[in-house]
């Protein structure tokens, strides 16, 4: 049997789907498993360290991530505890080519389901904690731009309105920095 894995185009800034709040997965059926496989392929191809379903136009509470230890998926994820502070140069596949130092909690506790429907709890710090917060934001319709301070935000809006990025430069830059 052949299994075909497809990649999705990634929705970018300005697409209204990125502003919508996703719904919990009710049944983990064949279509969800297929979607997760395709999201992992899309994330790896980008390349990125995380990808939320809304970034591929699907309004379901699903994200995938891979910070170098292999790909994982969390369904119906929510952050239930957070502490500390961590500043990280953060980027987003939906806002390609732009990065900002953003301060968020360092440690988080993520609760959700795995692909078999088992309840899971994962603690994340530093990059992993950041990826969890960034992807959960996506699932709540929030982009990293909303996490910027007022000066960064003003500059970001200016850049987003005026920039013309060379795709090769952008791709090279992506490889250097973690992004989701
Ligand atoms: Zn993102």
What domains are defined for the chain? 16-176 (3.90.45.10)
Give the pLDDT of residue 113. Answer: 98
Give the pLDDT of residue 179. Answer: 65
Contact 131, 124 (CB under 8 A): yes
pLDDT tens-digit map of 64-120? 999 999 999 999 999 999 999 999 999 999 999 999 999 999 999 999 999 999 999
Closest alpha carbon to 55 in 43, 67, 66, 44: 43
- 2 CA distance to ligand 1 centroid (A)? 31
Residue 173 has pLDDT above 90, yes or no: no
Give the pLDDT of residue 169. Answer: 56
- 46 CA distance to ligand 1 centroid (A)? 12
Q: Which residue of the set 111, 135, 146, 170 is catalytic?
A: 135
- 1 CA distance to ligand 1 centroid (A)? 34
* Residue 89 tokens, joined: 């140069």
- 164 CA distance to ligand 1 centroid (A)? 20
At 2, the pLDDT band (50, 70, 90 cuts) reads low
Average pLDDT estimate for 14-39: 97
At 135, the pLDDT band (50, 70, 90 cuts) reads very high
pTM exceeding the 0.85 threshold for the entire prediction: yes
Instruction: Please name the residues in contact with 132: beta carbons below 8 A apart, sequence gap of 6 or more.
Output: 65, 77, 79, 108, 110, 122, 124
Residue 1 has pLDDT above 80, yes or no: no
Across the chain, what does the average pLDDT equal?
Answer: 92
Quick one: three-class SS letters along the chain? CCCCCCCCCCCCCCCHHHHCCCECCCCCCHHHHHHHHHHHHHHHHCCCCEEEHHHHCCCECEEEECCCCCCEEEEEEEEEEEECCEEEEEECCCCCCCEEEEEECCEEEEEEECCCCCEEEEEECHHHHHHHHHHHHHHCCCCHHHHCCHHHHHHHHHHHHHCCCCHHHHHHHHHHCCCC
Give the pLDDT of residue 165. Answer: 54
Instruction: Establish whether 135 is a catalytic residue.
Output: yes
Residue 167 has pLDDT above 70, yes or no: no
Residue 152 has pLDDT above 90, yes or no: yes
């Amino acid at each position: 049997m052949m299994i075909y894995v497809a990649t999705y185009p990634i929705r970018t800034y300005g697409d209204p789907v990125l502003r919508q709040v996703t719904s919990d997965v009710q049944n983990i059926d064949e279509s969800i498993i297929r979607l997760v496989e395709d999201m992992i392929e899309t994330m790896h191809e980008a390349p990125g360290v995380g990808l939320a379903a809304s970034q591929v136009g699907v309004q379901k509470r699903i994200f995938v991530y891979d910070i170098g230890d292999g790909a994982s998926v969390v369904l119906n994820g929510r952050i239930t505890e957070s502490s500390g502070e961590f500043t990280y140069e953060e980027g987003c596949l939906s806002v390609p080519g732009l990065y900002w130092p953003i301060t968020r909690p360092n440690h988080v506790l993520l609760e959700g389901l795995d692909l078999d429907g088992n309840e899971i709890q994962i603690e994340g710090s530093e990059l992993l904690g950041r990826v969890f917060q960034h992807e959960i934001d996506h699932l709540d319709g929030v982009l990293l731009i909303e996490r910027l301070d007022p000066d960064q935000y003003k500059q970001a809006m200016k850049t987003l309105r005026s920039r013309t990025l060379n795709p090769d430069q952008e791709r090279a830059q992506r490889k250097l920095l973690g992004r989701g």
